[in-house]
Amino acid sequence: MGRDVIIACDFASAEKTFEFLDKFEGKKPFVKIGMELFYAEGPAIVREIKKRGHKIFLDLKLHDIPNTVKKAMSVLSHLDVDMTNLHAAGTVAMMEAAIEGLTRPDGTRPLLIAVTQLTSTSEERMKSDLLINEPIDKVVMHYAGCAKRAGLDGIVCSPLEAGKVHGACGDDFITVTPGVRFADGDVGDQVRVMTPAEAKRIGSDYIVVGRPITAAADPVAAYERCCAEFIG
Ligand code: C5P
C-alpha cells in the first residue's frame, strides 16, 4: 500500500471538474468524488475520470440496512473505483455485508474504509442528539475496532488520530485523513489541521486535500508541493 495525496474534487459539475483536471496534463492524481459531484453527474463521471487514468476514492458514506448496503456496494464494485466508504455506525453486520457486496467474482475489491464520527459532530452533540455518553475519542477508536473486525481496510480520521489508530489496529490498517493545510495557508472552516509533512510523520496513509489545491492560484504546483511534503 502506497502513501498518496488524494485531491477532493468538490465541484458541482463535470465541466468544472474537467477544467480543473485538464490543468494536470500528463499527471494523474488520485481524486475523491463526493456526494455533490456524484449526485449531479451520476456514475458517468466516475467512468470518465477512471478512463482518463486516475485512481478514484468514491466518498458516498453508505449507511442503511445490511442487505441494501450489500446490493449498493455490488453496483459500486462494477464502477471499478479504488476506494469507497460507509458509516461505521451502520454496525459490524452492515460492514460485513458491504464487504460481501463489494467483492467481485474474481475475489478483488476496492479498498473499503469507515467513517467513524464526523468531524462536524461535537462531543456535546453526540451526547445530546445521539445519546452516546462516552468521550468522542473512545467512540472513534471503538468504531475503528468494529471496522477492523468486520474486515474493512481502514478508517477516515483526523491526522491527529492516525498514530493512535495504527497503534490499536495495526500499521496496515489504513488511515485516510482530511484537514490538511500548508503551514503558510488558509485554515478555512477546518478546525484541527495538520501540514502534509506532519501528517507523514504521524503516519497517515492517505491525505485528502481539497481547497489548498483546488482554490490555489496554481493547483498543479500546490499538488506537487503536497506530494513533496507528504511522499517525497
Ligand atoms: O477543502 P478541504 O481540504 O477542507 O477538503 C477536505 C475534504 O475532506 C472535503 O471533501 C470534506 O468533505 C472531506 N472531509 C473532511 N472531514 C471529514 C471527512 C471528510 O473534511 N471528517
Catalytic residue from among 61, 70, 71, 127: 61
CB 192 within 8 A of CB 165: no
Asked if pLDDT for residue 190 goes beyond 90, the answer is no
Distance 136 CA to ligand 1 centre (A): 19
| CATH hierarchy code of domain 4-230 | 3.20.20.70
Atom of ligand 1 nearest to the CA of 157: 21
Share of the chain above pLDDT 70, in %: 100
Determine if ligand 1 sits within 6 Å of the CB of residue 190: yes
List b or e across 165-189, with b for residues whose CB sees 16 or more CB atoms inside 10 angstroms: bbeebeeebbbbbbbbbbeebeeee
Distance 8 CA to ligand 1 centre (A): 7
- Copy the grid coordinates of residue 216: 490555489
Q: What is the pLDDT of residues 100-131, one digit of tens each?
A: 999 999 999 999 999 998 888 889 999 999 99
Provide the residue ranges of all domains of the chain, joining segments of one domain with +: 4-230
Spatial distance between the Cα atoms of 33 and 41, rounded to a whole number of angstroms? 11
Distance 78 CA to ligand 1 centre (A): 26
Q: 34: which strand partners?
A: 59
Determine if ligand 1 sits within 6 Å of the CB of residue 94: no
Residue 58's CB is within 10 A of a number of other CB atoms, namely: 22
Determine if ligand 1 sits within 6 Å of the CB of residue 191: no
Q: What is the pLDDT of residues 15-62, one digit of tens each?
A: 999 999 999 998 999 999 999 999 999 999 999 999 999 999 999 999
148 is known as an active-site residue: no
Per-residue pLDDT, 188:
81
Asked if pLDDT for residue 1 goes beyond 70, the answer is no
Per-residue pLDDT, 189:
78
